Amino acid sequence: MPQSYDRNSSRRGPTGTGLTELVLVRHGESAGNVAATMARQAGAHVIDVPARDADVELSATGRDQALALGRLFADFPEDQRPAGVWSSPYVRARQTAELAVKTGGWPAGILIDERLRDRELGILDMLTSAGVEARLPEEAARRRWLGKFYYRPPGGESWADVVLRLRSLLADLERQPGGGRIMLVCHDALILLFRYILEGLTEPELLDIAATSTILNASLTRFVRPDGAGPWILESFNMADHLVSEGVPVTEHAGDANVHPA
């Protein structure tokens, strides 16, 4: 269930010089999300996406979600807003970040970092699970055997591969002068993998979360570290109450729930 965003807790001042808060945002609903859900419901093998993955735009609902996200932060004092906003280069994430920043009235620019891009699917791109089973049965069997974390489709990435680039990104964020709060606009798998890194989860713990949680479009996940050093604390996960309060639809586009190794 969506949780509530605690405005008061976000106003804790930093006592150190490092990062004190990471706000992770999944992009708003995209045209690709809608097409993938329709294809799965119809039992189709191929997702009728309107563009290559990097160029898929927000749906009309996704734009409304991004605007609602911006209004959530618009009333915050300037010193309580994210000091920096980093975004995946994929269009749906950039549009979400741009609409939220503009609506929120933040003076900071948006930094684009390719390490925040979605997991690359390689040979599985544009195929539903039914399509993989029908057209690439050997890959389907290999995916079941290895599980979501270690399975790497030909030409694509495993979740373990994505973890490596996220560790690199986090190291760069730690070197940013001034510390403070950073907002990262990215994709559903990345939010789960940030949890894996920042909470020190095991593979089974991560996959248990992935099997039972769908990251909602334009949802917020928040990690805090008041002293600017030491372990991160997950303060809230997968929140979408800002959408509910604005009367904006909460959209849930789930991926493959068979994530554990067979």
Chain segment 222-243, per-residue pLDDT in tens: 999 999 999 999 999 999 999 9
CATH architecture observed for domain 18-245? 3-Layer(aba) Sandwich (3.40)
Q: Which residues contact 148 (CB under 8 A, 6 or more apart)?
A: 159, 207, 210, 256, 259, 260
Place of tokens 């734009």: 63
Give pLDDT, residue 12. Answer: 39
pLDDT, tens digit, for every residue of 172-218? 999 887 778 999 999 999 999 999 999 999 999 999 999 999 999 99
Kindly report, residue by residue over 66-102, the tens digit of the pLDDT.
Answer: 999 999 988 777 777 788 999 999 999 999 999 999 9
Provide the mean pLDDT of the chain. 91
Question: Which of the four pLDDT bands, split at 50, 70 and 90, describes residue 8?
Answer: very low
Question: Which pLDDT does position 17 carry in this prediction?
Answer: 64
Q: What angle do CA 28, 176, 182 make, to 5 degrees?
A: 25
**Strands laid side by side in the 84-87 sheet:** 110-112, 84-87, 180-186, 19-26, 220-224, 233-239
Quote the percentage of the chain above a pLDDT of 70.
94
Task: Identify the DSSP state of 51.
Answer: S
